[in-house]
Every structure is written in C-alpha cells, then in structure tokens.
Amino acid sequence: MILVTGATGTVGRAVVSVLVARGERVRAVTRNPSTAGLPAEVEVVAADLAEPASLAPHLAGVDAVFLVWPFTDPAVARTTAPEVTRMIAAHGARIVYLSAPGADQPESSWGLVERAVEASGAEWTFLRPVGFAANTLGWADQIRAGDTVRWPYGGAARSLVHERDLAEAAVVALTSDGHAGARYLLSGPAALTQEEQVRVIGRAIGRELRWTDMPVEEARVMLSAAFGDPDFADAALAGWAAFVDHPEQVTDTVERLTGRPARTYAQWAAEHAADFR
C-alpha cells in the first residue's frame, strides 16, 4: 500500500495516476475526499498535515509515503513536520519527499522538512525538482485574453520539469530499492528563457505571443498578495533574477530513474494547449 499526500495537486495527482496504471494499491490523502475526482481504484481518505493526528489512522499497512508539504511558512515546518515524519516512521514506511533545490538552505521550509525526515528514522529519498512546467499555467489568463504575457525577468532561463516525469521518478523511488538516502535533482532536458517558453506556448496554440517585462516592484506586490507570503515572493523573484545570468541546471536524473529522456517543454505545452485557449 502506498499513501500519497497532496493527492489532488499537480504532482500528487500524477503520482496517483502512475501508481494506478502500474496496478499498485493507493491510499490518497486529501482534505476533501468528496471533491477529489480520483480513480475508483483509489482509497481516498481525509486528513490535513497541519493536524498530524488526522493522518495517523491512515498509516496502517502503508509501505511507502509520497510526502508533499503544502506549507511555505518555515514555522509550520519547524513545529509540525517532526511529528508527521515520526508518525510515518513508526509504521515502518519509506518516505519519498517532494522537496526543492532550496532545501540546501536549512532554515527554508523544504530544508526543515528534510531535516525532520532524516531525524525520523524512516528510509527516505528526496526529490528536488527545479521549476514545474505546470507553474506556467499562471500565464493562461493573460494568453486567453490577448497576445502578450506581462511578467518579470523574461531572460530567466529555466529547465522546467514535466509533472508526469516527476511522478514517474517518484514511483520508481516509492516502489523499488536502491534509492535510500538519495537526493535527486530533477529537471527537463533543456533550459529555456521565460520569453522562449511563451513563444513555445504560442506555437502549441497556433498564435504568435509576445513578452513584456513587468517591473520588479510591481511583481513583488502582486506575488506577495498571491502567495500570502512576502518572503516567498522575494525568494521567487531572486531566483528568476539569478537565472538571467546563470541558467537553471539541466540534469539527466529523469532518464536515469525512468529509463527514458525527460519530456520537453514543447511536449508539455502541446499537452496543455487547451488550458491556454
């Protein structure tokens, strides 16, 4: 039995889909099972990681846990992650944690959760993906409304990873041995600037799209409101700024784990073209 937290999110839903396709037994955790929309073969249960006790009844018989930490506030990770991870470890389950490259900063939310997982005593694997291709769905409203995307740092080059690649890599770590103690950096097969990404979306939907740089201060106000966390907004802007001169790293981790090359951003855009129309 494999338990998937964040099972209705972009990556968690893909992990559930891959596991079901492989014939694995899946228990999916969500706050609202009635609206989960997951396959009938999946056992859908209600729990909230902010309340660790709500997870406890669902760990019986679980062999591995795909852990998605849904909170950006380091204070929540500091106080709650140790209890969640100890509870999982007490049931002898393997933890595959969806982390981030930012976990190298030990006081980040990702870093704090990684430390909690390590201290729990569970067997663990950390997946540290670069940016998700799915995050560019944030441009969809602008693209549906016109031909210009207005956003900061058009020259930021990112090696965005397809959610299906991330899910397939996670399933390898969840269901096979040889990954204990690994920290995997996962990316797409090439780095594209954000302006180039917009052009790729344009080709996928059959329209010519343009890019306009948004002033950084305006972006900071907008992102702070969207994230509900000014520090998280500042971190995102600092990351994009860094990728202008230092493109995001490209790795072959997806291919090494899954046995096939990572999907391109063009493939992702073609699959999600309807979201931009």
Is residue 153 within 8 Å of residue 194, measured between CB atoms? yes
pLDDT band at residue 222, thresholds of 50, 70 and 90?
A: confident
Spans of all domains in the chain: 2-129, 130-161+186-248+263-277
Write the class of the CATH domain 130-161+186-248+263-277: alpha beta
CATH code matching the domain that covers 2-129, chosen among 1.10.1040.10, 3.40.630.30, 3.40.50.720, 3.40.50.450: 3.40.50.720
145-179 pLDDT, tens digit each: 999 999 999 999 999 999 999 999 999 999 999 99
Residue 107 pLDDT: 85
Same fold, 2-129 and 130-161+186-248+263-277: yes
Write phi, then psi, for 158 (nearest 5 degrees). -125, 150
* 3 state SS of 69: coil
Residue 95 pLDDT: 98
2-14 pLDDT, tens digit each: 999 999 999 999 9
> Helices (H) and strands (E) in the chain — how many of each?
11, 11
pLDDT band at residue 72, thresholds of 50, 70 and 90?
A: confident
- 56: DSSP letter: G
Mean pLDDT of the chain: 94
99-138 pLDDT, tens digit each: 999 888 888 899 999 999 999 999 999 999 999 999 999 9
